[in-house]
C-alpha cells in the first residue's frame, strides 16, 4: 500500500515499495498559480535529501523543487514537457515530477504524514 509523506517545502513523496513518486503539493501549485514550465532531472541522476532536483515556473515565479529523500531518478514525467498545467490540474496524480529509488528508508521518518501536513498548513497561512 502506498504511503504519502510531505515536506515543509511542500513536496510530497508517495512511497510504493522501494520507489518514491515525487511532486509538489496542491498547496504549492495554488501558491504558484498557472504552471508554464517544469525542468526535470535526467533518469540515472542521484540526489541527496534536500538537494534541488527540479524547477517549476509559473506566471508568478520560478521555484526550486527539493528531493524529499535521497535516491536515484528512475523515471521523469515526460508529459509535463508538453503539458506543464498537469501540475495545476492534478498535482498528486498525473502532475508528478519524478520517481526515485528510495536510498535510505530512515529518511522517511523525518517527513510528515497527511494529518501532520494539514496541521503544518495552518501555521503557514
Any idea what the CATH number is for the domain that residue 101 is in? 2.40.50.100
Decide if 65 is inside a domain.
yes
Q: Domain range spanning residue 33?
A: 3-114
Query: Per residue in 72-116, pLDDT tens?
Result: 999 999 999 999 999 999 999 999 999 999 999 999 999 999 999
Decide if 85 is inside a domain.
yes
- SS3 label, residue 114: helix
How does the average pLDDT of the chain come out, rounded? 96
Write the DSSP symbol of residue 112: B
Decide if 67 is inside a domain.
yes
Please tell me the predicted confidence (pLDDT) of residue 45: 98
Decide if 121 is inside a domain.
no
Decide if 50 is inside a domain.
yes
pLDDT band per the 50, 70, 90 thresholds, residue 2: confident
How many independent structural domains does the chain possess? Answer: 1
Give the C-alpha separation, 111 to 35, whole Å: 25
Q: Show the beta-strand stretches assigned E in 1-125.
A: 3-6, 11-16, 19-24, 35-39, 46-47, 52-58, 62-66, 71-76, 98-102
Decide if 124 is inside a domain.
no
**Prediction pTM value:** 0.95
Cα dist. 61→2, 36, 70, 106 in Å?
31, 10, 26, 33
State the cell numbers at 99: 520517481
Please tell me the predicted confidence (pLDDT) of residue 14: 98
Decide if 20 is inside a domain.
yes
State mean pLDDT over 38-52. 97
Decide if 60 is inside a domain.
yes
- The answer to whether 15 and 3 have CB atoms below 8 angstroms apart is yes
For residue 71, list its beta bridge partners.
47, 102
Amino acid at each position: 500500500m502506498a504511503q504519502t509523506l510531505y515536506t515543509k517545502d511542500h513536496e510530497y513523496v508517495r512511497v510504493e515499495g522501494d520507489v518514491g513518486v515525487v511532486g509538489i503539493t496542491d498547496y504549492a501549485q495554488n501558491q504558484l498559480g498557472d504552471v508554464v514550465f517544469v525542468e526535470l532531472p535526467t533518469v540515472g541522476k542521484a540526489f541527496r535529501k534536500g538537494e534541488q532536483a527540479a524547477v517549476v515556473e509559473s506566471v508568478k515565479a520560478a521555484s526550486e523543487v527539493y528531493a524529499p529523500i535521497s535516491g536515484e531518478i528512475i523515471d521523469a514525467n515526460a508529459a509535463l514537457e508538453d503539458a506543464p498545467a498537469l501540475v495545476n490540474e492534478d498535482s498528486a496524480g498525473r502532475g508528478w515530477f519524478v520517481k526515485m529509488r528510495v536510498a535510505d528508508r530512515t529518511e522517511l521518518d523525518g517527513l510528515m504524514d497527511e494529518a501532520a501536513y494539514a496541521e503544518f498548513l495552518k501555521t503557514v497561512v
